[in-house]
Structure 1
Amino acid sequence: MPSASIQPAEATPSPSRTSLRALDWLNFFLADVQTGIGPFFAIYLATHQWNEQHVGLALTVGGIAGIGTQLPAGQLADRVHSKRALVAVGVTLLGVGAWLIASFPTFWPELLAQVLVGGVSSIFIPATCAISLGLVGPTLFDRRQGRNQTFNSAGNVTAAVVAGLLGHFVTNQSVFYFVMALTVPTLLSLRFIHPAEIDFERARGAKPDGGPAHTASFRQLLQDARLRTFLACAVMFHFANAAMLPLLGEMLAKGRGRDSMLFMSACVVTTQFVITLLAAWTGRRAGTWGRKPLLLLAFAVLPIRGVLYTLTHDPALRVAIQVLDGVGAGIFGVVSVLVIADLTRGTGRFNVTLGAITMAVGIGASLSQVIAGTVVHRLGYPAGFLFLAAVATVALVLFAKAMPETLERPSE
């Protein structure tokens, strides 16, 4: 795979204010829709007497469905001119999945819903990143990605608060009907992004001089040693991170009934509030400090978080620990996409590479759910969290030792 190099200067894009604001709100409402399903799904099943292994199985099935569609989603984002259509289809099908979850809380319908939700969710990251890169170009992409994450996290906060209140004061099922309702403003936001302003070549990371873009095979994608190293680190990061919040949710659900939704809401709000404050700053600093210092911080807080969960039984303190989740997720969510953009700039393979890496980390996240669930079932929650913290420590060491900086600075 060609390594990143400094490309010829490209004319600065001038997207309209309407498109940029619509992209803000698209990120906000997409987060609302996804947050209303993700963190609350484990609690919903636990309150319907599903045990840890069955919950882990359902989450794993959804993860596997997402894994199988990540690479095709990235390829579609590179090849299809209408990025908005990809997002619209995904949002509509996500609403159908939410309806299945709320209406049929039994084994097979829930598995079907997880397949649907997991499959279509893979569309959103490459498609929204393609829209962003197509609108603003590579020079401003770091700041745009930080802004995307800010609105995404603000949407997560809003959805978590509303979902927690609905789960506590109405019913657990009402959370998923809320998700269905949110598909309407999401689709409206998408409509106000002007398609003519999304440059097709820029959106897939093609050469600034307008040269042809190419779709890479897996072998071509992995020719870059930096990409292989980042891939391994990202897989371990997500393996260690993915199961922590669902396990925390299961602990909070035991013996608390509807109150568990409020606790989970508090956890999600804490995390996403921190991300909201941090994301725009991260986007700015990624262009001056570089990518590696920020990612080292993201990797470092994860094992600390896993250990801290084992040191207290106080729900309030467990919620407070989610500040570390916000730091890690906020930085990783912004900077990981920038690293991929760095490594694929000028190749026309940005979205397919993003899809391939997202597929790989999806494998790690899915295995995390079922393996950590099994550890907890056999040895208890402290052992599960310590196991995840150990994996996070290995990821930190590998990243610190083997991953170089990817930001290309102009020669002086």
Structure 2
Amino acid sequence: MVRNPQRSALRRLLPFPPAGRPIRKEQERIPREIKVLIASAFVIAIGFGLVAPVLPQFAQSFDVGVTASSVIVSAFAFTRLIFAPAGGRLIERLGERPVYVVGLLIVALSTAACAFAENYWQLLIFRGLGGIGSTMFTVSALGLIVRLAPAGIRGRISSAYASAFLLGSIGGPILGGLLAGFGLRVPFLVYAGALLIASAVVFFQLKDTRLGDRRTGAAQSVLTVREALKDSAYRASLLSSFANGWSSFGVRLALVPLFATVVLDAGPGIAGISLAFFAGGTALALTVSGRLADTWGRRPMLLIGLAVNGLAMAALGFAGNVPVFLAICVVGGVGAGILNPAQQAVVADVVGSERSGGKVLAVFQMASDTGAIFGPILAGIIIDQLPSGSFALAFVVTGVLTAAAFVLWLGSRETLPARGQAAPPGAA
């Protein structure tokens, strides 16, 4: 049988399962250890949501302005970013589990310290220390999932993990607002207590899990960042992670509510509802996107997710009324929900369960954090410096960046291995 080279080239570009790869039937169950991490993620997300609504108010209680209270929020993300490389080195030296537990403890203690801060500068320092612990448990949690998740259900596990965080982040602010009625310091203490419980559960539930930790003396290969960058899938994942951080974690939180109040003149109620609609779209997509990433392939889901999210974000600035605006928010959330599980599964495929890749995972996380930090800054500059219509331009820039990630993924490899095969490490 003679193959048509043009048809083969088309198959590589289009988001279809590679030829010869069977559609998988789900047979594997999520390991118990992964379920522990998912439950812990839910607790962490609820706790983060507890303090998020009250943190700016608590900062302003020390007689500072809006800018200073915003710095308190940014300090957490900034220390997460700058400490990520060190967190990756700790994982490679000590192992994922100890770094995860210590990271939770650091966030717990720093959050409790925030409750007893006596001035603005103490609050800033304590909140910044929390960012160090956050990047430790975030990167090590991804490392644990890489090591413990069977390759055939990595997408489903990433989807379940993301869903736990999403549900926690939705319920946390509601509970935090109620607890704030007892005092602005109370949510910090409740969050710290929840983290102490979560760290104890993870420590005791995973202490007998065989992972080939460094302390056992077992030899284990390490995937370096230089080696990972030779893989087209990892390179594309960095750009899509940056674009997703810019869009879903940066511009969405900073610009979408502002557009509702300033441009649509819809009031703060619609601003909050818009974020809920976006989260609802993400939750809807997460119910199926992980399974599709494990059957159809990682690359098709990434391409679809980037296309849907990018087009929705670019269209937001042209919404002329509230119903259209909210509908686009839902579509944007669906795109993010399609994208995220496949993206994390790709990085897990690249690292593999038999290698350590702390620095590789840290760089991947840094890409998202960098986008989340600089996206709102550039969007704010565009809106402040340019004439009317600049909101639309800021959203279009976000869509263009997502489109760039889409183009890079068109030429990148599929990492989902065929049944019974391992993904080739470092494939171009």
SS in 2 for 1:287: helix
Seen in structure 2, the aligned counterparts of structure 1 residues 347 and 200 have a Cα distance that, compared at 3 Å, is closer
Corresponding residue to 1:91 among 77, 85, 107: 107
Residue pairs, 1:355-374, within 5 angstroms: 355-374=362-381
Q: Give the equivalent residue in structure 1 for 2:193.
A: 184
Q: Give the equivalent residue in structure 2 for 1:156.
A: 169
Indicate if the aligned counterparts of 1:59 and 1:369 stay in contact, CA closer than 8 A.
Answer: no
Residue pairs, 1:250-261, within 5 angstroms: 250-251=258-259, 260=268
Q: Give the equivalent residue in structure 1 for 2:91.
A: 77
Deviation at 1:346, TM superposition (A): 5.2
Q: Which has the larger radius of gyration?
A: 2
Corresponding residue to 2:343 among 336, 342, 363: 336
Q: Deviations over 1:212-270 (max 9, x none)?
A: 323444333323333223323332332344223212234556699xx73x545434433
Indicate if the aligned counterparts of 1:13 and 1:136 stay in contact, CA closer than 8 A.
Answer: no
In the superposition, the TM-score normalised over structure 2's length comes to 0.73
- Equivalent position amino acid for 1:95 in 2: T
SS in 1 for 2:207: helix
Q: Give the equivalent residue in structure 2 for 1:384.
A: 394
Corresponding residue to 2:211 among 200, 214, 217: 200
Indicate if the aligned counterparts of 1:298 and 1:331 stay in contact, CA closer than 8 A.
Answer: yes
- Equivalent position amino acid for 2:46 in 1: D
Indicate if the aligned counterparts of 1:294 and 1:331 stay in contact, CA closer than 8 A.
Answer: yes
Corresponding residue to 2:244 among 237, 261, 273: 237
Corresponding residue to 2:413 among 392, 397, 404: 404
Deviation at 1:334, TM superposition (A): 1.7
Seen in structure 2, the aligned counterparts of structure 1 residues 165 and 243 have a Cα distance that, compared at 3 Å, is farther
Residue pairs, 1:32-43, within 5 angstroms: 32-36=46-50
- Equivalent position amino acid for 2:187 in 1: F
Q: Give the equivalent residue in structure 2 for 1:7.
A: none
CA distance in 1, matches of 2:43, 2:307: 30
- Equivalent position amino acid for 1:333 in 2: N
Deviation at 1:374, TM superposition (A): 1.4
CA distance in 1, matches of 2:69, 2:259: 13
Give structure 1 stretches of 5+ with no counterpart: 1-11, 205-209
Q: Give the equivalent residue in structure 1 for 2:254.
A: 246
Q: Give the equivalent residue in structure 1 for 2:229.
A: 222
Q: Please, what is the CA RMSD of the aligned residues?
A: 4.0
Deviation at 1:409, TM superposition (A): 0.7
Deviation at 1:159, TM superposition (A): 1.6
Q: Give the equivalent residue in structure 2 for 1:3.
A: none
Residue pairs, 1:291-310, within 5 angstroms: 291-310=298-317
CA distance in 2, matches of 1:390, 1:118: 30
Seen in structure 2, the aligned counterparts of structure 1 residues 68 and 49 have a Cα distance that, compared at 3 Å, is closer
Q: Give the equivalent residue in structure 1 for 2:25.
A: none
Q: Does 1:350 align with 2:361?
A: no
Which protein, 1 or 2, shows the higher relative CO under an 8 Å CA cutoff with sep ≥ 6?
A: 1
Deviation at 1:360, TM superposition (A): 2.8
Deviation at 1:290, TM superposition (A): 0.6
**What percentage of residue pairs aligned between the two structures are identical?**
19
Indicate if the aligned counterparts of 2:114 and 2:188 stay in contact, CA closer than 8 A.
Answer: yes
Seen in structure 2, the aligned counterparts of structure 1 residues 317 and 243 have a Cα distance that, compared at 3 Å, is same
CA distance in 1, matches of 2:176, 2:376: 23
Indicate if the aligned counterparts of 1:270 and 1:319 stay in contact, CA closer than 8 A.
Answer: yes
SS in 2 for 1:406: coil
Deviation at 1:391, TM superposition (A): 1.9
In the superposition, the TM-score normalised over structure 1's length comes to 0.75
Give structure 2 stretches of 5+ with no counterpart: 1-27, 422-428
Q: Deviations over 1:1-52 (max 9, x none)?
A: xxxxxxxxxxx99955xx565433212111112344568878998998636x
Residue pairs, 1:99-114, within 5 angstroms: 99=115, 112=125
Seen in structure 2, the aligned counterparts of structure 1 residues 220 and 328 have a Cα distance that, compared at 3 Å, is same
Indicate if the aligned counterparts of 2:220 and 2:354 stay in contact, CA closer than 8 A.
Answer: yes
Q: Deviations over 1:363-389 (max 9, x none)?
A: 232221322221122124333222222
